Structure 1
Amino acid sequence: MISFEQIEFWNWWVIAVFLIGIEIFAPGAVFLWMGIAAAAVGFVLLAFPETTWQFQLLIFAVLSVVSIYVWRYLLRDRFAKPESGRVLNRRGASYVGRTFTLKEPIVDGSGLLHVDDSRWKVEGEDLPAGAKVKVTGIDGTVLKVERA
């Protein structure tokens, strides 16, 4: 049986691989950062082999907490999906706020708008073909527009 006095640098690296492996089955980046902290303790122990096991555990705990905190509160937003990712499978919602040119007029409050490779039914004030419109909302598959 291994006592705490016999912990070597490679033991921490095995723990790091184990923790990072757990991340595959329990995603959320917590075990990933704990694994990175364990690997860092292994490097510290490699550089300073006389480090006591109590200090090793302290380094591991501090690095784990700090790295998880930094990930959750500082770095996570940098890697978040762009705003358009929030409207996946809601194509019409991605057009809200954009401006387009009418190829067909809006008559009696209803018309068609050509957007990329598709046609959308639009509702808004009567406007001639060639007018610029801004999409202000969506109701099902109907885009609400106003003069831009």
Structure 2
Amino acid sequence: MTEIVFWHWWVAGLLLLALEAFFPGAVFLWMGVAAMATGLVSWAVPGLGWQWELALFSALAIASFFAYKRFRPAAKPTDQPHLNRRGAAYIGRRLTLDTTIVNGVSRIRIDDTQWRITGPDLPAGTAVVVKAIDGATLVVEPA
């Protein structure tokens, strides 16, 4: 069996850091940091043995991941809470029906998009309020 030397750990650390670039989520990042630190210890303490190096890598990887989870900065509140959830932004909005709601289903144009709506049967021209969203369908009721 070949001996594991310090630069093996550094190469493994660089590969793990490269993986983090393709699969972000901070898991590979901290494993890469742990591998680099294990390489540094392996360089400073020659003849440590692969069992101890593997145990050190495991402990550092787990400890660094949980330290990151504990001390990472909190998510900042956004000024656009409905970004990527356009339908949720329409809840509470008052609209006028372009077409009649028949059998509880119709369509309505809002801004630049045509939406499917559900609600009680109502004639065209009736004012409605969006009360909820069900997937890509707006749930309306008379205003």
TM-score scaled by length of structure 1: 0.50
1:103 aligned to 2:96? yes
Q: Given the alignment of the two structures, is residue 12 of structure 1 paired with residue 9 of structure 2, yes or no?
A: yes
Determine helix, strand or coil for the equivalent of 1:99.
Answer: coil
Per residue, is there more helix in 1 or in 2?
A: 1
Paired position in structure 2 for 1:133? 129
Change in Cα spacing, 1:114 to 1:29, as seen in structure 2 (3 Å) is: same
Which residue of the partner structure matches residue 57 of structure 2? Answer: 60
Instruction: Give the conservation status (yes or no) of the 8 Å contact 1:103–1:114.
Output: no
State the identity as a percent: 31
Q: Which amino acid aligns with 1:66?
A: A
Distance verdict in 2 for CA 1:17–1:117, change over 3 Å = same
2:45 aligned partner: 50
AA paired with 2:108? L
- Number of matched pairs: 131
Q: Does the Cα contact within 8 Å between 1:37 and 1:63 map onto a contact in 2? A: yes
For 2:94, give the aligned amino acid.
T
Deviation string for 1:64-94 (max 9, x for gaps)? 233455678997xx6xxx9976x7xxx7xx4
CA contact (8 A) 2:42 2:48 kept: no
- Uncovered stretches (5+) of structure 1, i.e. residues with no partner: none
What is the CA distance between 1:2 and its match in structure 2?
Answer: 6.2
The structure-2 alpha-carbon separation of the partners of 1:72 and 1:127, relative to structure 1 and needing over 3 Å to count, comes to farther
* TM-score normalised by length of structure 2: 0.51
Which runs of no fewer than 5 residues in structure 2 stay unpaired? 76-80
